[in-house]
């Protein structure tokens, strides 16, 4: 463990400070929230969690920042609504979810509308208008659709609206996988030329092991030149209940490689986004590697 810590700890403190300041000063932010940050143990949308996320986003809005929210939770909320206990009509076990792609696609359409209803109501408490955008990877790869996507978001941001983006699961041709939105949020961050990507999850950042199983696992405060060591640790520690940290790390790394800071932090952390905007050490900070090599 000592050597692991040494391997992941060797970062220039000035570069970390600069990245933390850049993250705090970001004018335009993509915030990504995962299913576990929005649903309860019965896979039902958890209004307390969702309201907390919305309050955190509003902390950034109050600071004058533009925020784009990438939200998962459609399939999860669909399972909570129609699965066993929600409705006898659908034979989906809430514990296991559904592995059947057709079912997951259909469940997403039920959950997505619920998700937006709750977001609309929750943001309404602050008179904050929201918009729904559903995209697929193919949309962002096709130049004309990419342009339409970016110009729609630009217009919404100019109007002061918070766009809520999710993958268009009903028509996505690739398999619907956990982690898709980690990559989608990184692509959206690059496409929209944002200044910061924040990935919120149910652990407090990237650890040297699986924090849910290994009490010795310690939080990695910053990732930069030590990326390969971190990647290896995360690869080793990934299990299904820890699923998704790898794609979060990859998404954050993509952002950092293109010159923007990224943070992976706990959605349950008090005032999580406000802390980042105040420059307080929060979660795991990905130091822009482009910035590091230029200086
Ligand atoms: N788009 C999926 C959903 O809303 C989530 C994919 C992911 O978790 O990355 O349920």
Signed CA dihedral, 222, 223, 229, 232: sign only: positive
Distance from residue 167's CA to the centre of ligand 1 (Å): 7
Distance from residue 17's CA to the centre of ligand 1 (Å): 33
Looking at the fold, whether 153 and 70 belong to one and the same domain comes out as yes
Whether residue 287 is predicted with pLDDT greater than 70 in this model: the reply is yes
The model's pTM is 0.92
The residue among 119, 144, 176 that closes a domain is: 176
Domain count along the chain:
2
The enclosing domain of 72 has a CATH number of 3.40.1160.10
Instruction: Judge whether 186 lies within some domain.
Output: no
Whether residue 284 is predicted with pLDDT greater than 50 in this model: the reply is yes
pLDDT digits (tens, 9 = 90+) for 27-58: 999 999 999 999 998 889 999 999 999 999 99
Looking at the fold, whether 227 and 114 belong to one and the same domain comes out as no
Distance from residue 223's CA to the centre of ligand 1 (Å): 25
Residue 7: per-residue pLDDT: 45
What is the Cα Rg of the chain in Å? 18
In this prediction, residue 293 has a pLDDT band, given cuts at 50, 70 and 90, of very low
State which ligand 1 atom lies nearest to the alpha carbon of 166. Answer: 1
Instruction: Give the residue, by CA position, lying nearest to ligand 1 atom 5.
Output: 72
* CA dist., res. 7 & res. 201, Å (int): 24
CB within 8 A of 147, min separation 6: which ones? none
Looking at the fold, whether 83 and 111 belong to one and the same domain comes out as yes
Residue 3: per-residue pLDDT: 44
Instruction: Judge whether 183 lies within some domain.
Output: no
Better-scored residue on pLDDT, 140 or 93: 140
Distance of CA 32 to the CA centre of its chain: 2
Looking at the fold, whether 3 and 122 belong to one and the same domain comes out as no
Looking at the fold, whether 278 and 224 belong to one and the same domain comes out as yes
Query: What single DSSP character describes residue 29?
Result: E
Instruction: Judge whether 185 lies within some domain.
Output: no
181 lines ligand 1 (CB under 6 A): yes
Looking at the fold, whether 65 and 18 belong to one and the same domain comes out as no
pLDDT digits (tens, 9 = 90+) for 136-174: 988 999 999 999 999 999 999 999 999 999 999 999 877
The residue among 176, 207, 233 that closes a domain is: 176
Cβ atoms 107, 89 nearer than 8 A = no
105 lines ligand 1 (CB under 6 A): no
Looking at the fold, whether 47 and 12 belong to one and the same domain comes out as no
199 lines ligand 1 (CB under 6 A): no
In this prediction, residue 244 has a pLDDT band, given cuts at 50, 70 and 90, of confident
Left (φ > 0), alpha (ψ -120 to 50) or beta: where does 70 sit?
Answer: beta
Residue 86: per-residue pLDDT: 61
167 lines ligand 1 (CB under 6 A): yes
> In this prediction, what percent of the chain has a pLDDT beyond 70?
87
Instruction: Judge whether 263 lies within some domain.
Output: yes
Q: What are phi and psi of 161, to 5 degrees?
A: -90, 150
Instruction: Judge whether 60 lies within some domain.
Output: yes
Instruction: Judge whether 182 lies within some domain.
Output: no
Looking at the fold, whether 13 and 87 belong to one and the same domain comes out as no
Cβ atoms 277, 65 nearer than 8 A = yes
Looking at the fold, whether 238 and 106 belong to one and the same domain comes out as no
Looking at the fold, whether 19 and 118 belong to one and the same domain comes out as no
Instruction: Judge whether 290 lies within some domain.
Output: yes
In order of 40, 42, 96, 137, 212, the CA distances from 241 in angstroms are 15, 16, 12, 26, 8
Instruction: Judge whether 79 lies within some domain.
Output: yes
Better-scored residue on pLDDT, 179 or 247: 247
71 lines ligand 1 (CB under 6 A): no
**Ligand 1 pocket, mutate which of 71, 72, 106, 107 (most atoms under 8 A from CB):** 72
Looking at the fold, whether 40 and 168 belong to one and the same domain comes out as yes
35 lines ligand 1 (CB under 6 A): yes
Whether residue 225 is predicted with pLDDT greater than 60 in this model: the reply is yes
Distance of CA 261 to the CA centre of its chain: 14
75 lines ligand 1 (CB under 6 A): yes
Looking at the fold, whether 81 and 149 belong to one and the same domain comes out as yes
Mean pLDDT, the chain, integer: 89
Residue 222: per-residue pLDDT: 96
* CA dist., res. 217 & res. 158, Å (int): 43
Q: Which is nearest to 278 in space by CA: 56, 21, 17?
A: 21
Range of the domain at 231: 1-26+195-295
């Amino acid at each position: 463990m000592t050597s692991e810590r040494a391997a992941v700890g060797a970062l220039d403190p000035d570069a970390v400070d600069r990245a933390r300041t850049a993250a705090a000063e970001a004018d335009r932010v993509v915030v990504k929230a995962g299913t576990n940050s929005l649903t309860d143990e019965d896979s039902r949308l958890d209004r307390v969690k969702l309201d907390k996320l919305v309050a955190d986003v509003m902390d950034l809005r109050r600071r004058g920042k533009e925020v784009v929210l990438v939200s998962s939770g459609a399939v999860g909320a669909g399972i909570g609504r129609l699965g066993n206990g929600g409705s006898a009509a659908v034979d989906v076990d809430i514990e296991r979810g559904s592995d059947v792609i057709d079912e997951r696609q259909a469940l997403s359409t039920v959950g997505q509308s619920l998700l937006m209803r709750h977001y609309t109501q929750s943001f309404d408490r602050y008179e904050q208008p929201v918009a729904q955008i559903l995209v697929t990877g193919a949309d962002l790869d096709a130049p004309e659709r990419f342009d339409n996507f970016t110009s729609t978001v630009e217009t919404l941001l100019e109007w002061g609206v918070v766009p809520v983006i999710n993958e268009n699961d009903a028509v996505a041709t690739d398999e619907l996988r956990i982690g898709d939105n980690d990559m989608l949020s990184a692509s959206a961050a690059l496409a929209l030329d944002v200044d910061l990507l924040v990935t919120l999850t149910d652990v407090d950042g990237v650890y040297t092991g699986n924090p849910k199983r290994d009490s010795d696992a310690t939080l990695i405060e910053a990732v930069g030149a030590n990326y390969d060591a971190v990647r290896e640790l995360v690869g080793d520690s990934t299990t299904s209940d820890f699923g998704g940290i790898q794609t979060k790390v990859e998404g954050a790394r993509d952002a950092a490689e293109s010159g923007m800071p990224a943070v992976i932090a706990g959605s349950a952390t008090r005032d999580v986004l406000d802390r980042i905007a105040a420059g307080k050490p929060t979660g795991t900070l990905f130091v822009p590697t482009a910035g590091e090599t230029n200086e």
